[in-house]
């Protein structure tokens, strides 16, 4: 039997449902490969290596910049979790070798 703590630190496929509110943070697909940072009673925490935020420093001409972020996906949006234990590239992946997250 699988336990949710076994996916922490791994790359998984999240299948979402009724995720319209998540579009406000850029999640517009119902299937998403994510790197799991943790979980709690509210949902699953995922890693996003290039989350766009307003550029408050005023440096450069870009109005936004990319930051590393941890994002909470509430349990109510998660329909299924697909885990790939011991699969090369999916078990403890390097974020520098794989596109993770969303644009």
Total count of domains within the chain: 1
The pTM for the full model equals 0.79
Q: Looking at the domain assignment, is residue 89 inside a domain?
A: no
Comparing 88 with 9, the larger pLDDT belongs to 9
- What domain range is 20 assigned to? 4-83
Q: Looking at the domain assignment, is residue 58 inside a domain?
A: yes
pLDDT, mean over the chain? 85
pLDDT tens digit sequence for 49-98: 888 888 877 666 778 888 999 999 999 999 999 998 877 766 554 444 54
Comparing 100 with 22, the larger pLDDT belongs to 22
Q: Looking at the domain assignment, is residue 88 inside a domain?
A: no
Q: Looking at the domain assignment, is residue 8 inside a domain?
A: yes
Q: Looking at the domain assignment, is residue 79 inside a domain?
A: yes
Q: Looking at the domain assignment, is residue 67 inside a domain?
A: yes
Give CA separation, 20 vs 3, 7, 56, in Å. Answer: 28, 25, 28
Q: Looking at the domain assignment, is residue 61 inside a domain?
A: yes
Q: What is the CATH number of the domain that holds 54?
A: 2.30.30
């Amino acid at each position: 039997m699988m336990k949710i703590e076994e996916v922490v630190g791994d790359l998984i496929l999240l299948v979402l449902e009724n995720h319209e509110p998540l579009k406000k943070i850029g999640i517009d697909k119902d299937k998403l490969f994510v790197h799991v940072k943790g979980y709690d009673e509210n949902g699953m925490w995922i890693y996003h290596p290039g989350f766009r935020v307003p550029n408050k420093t005023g440096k450069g001409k870009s109005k936004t910049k990319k930051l590393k972020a941890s994002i909470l996906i509430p349990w109510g949006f998660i329909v299924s979790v697909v885990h790939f234990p011991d699969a090369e590239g999916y078990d403890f992946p390097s974020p520098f070798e794989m596109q993770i997250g969303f644009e």
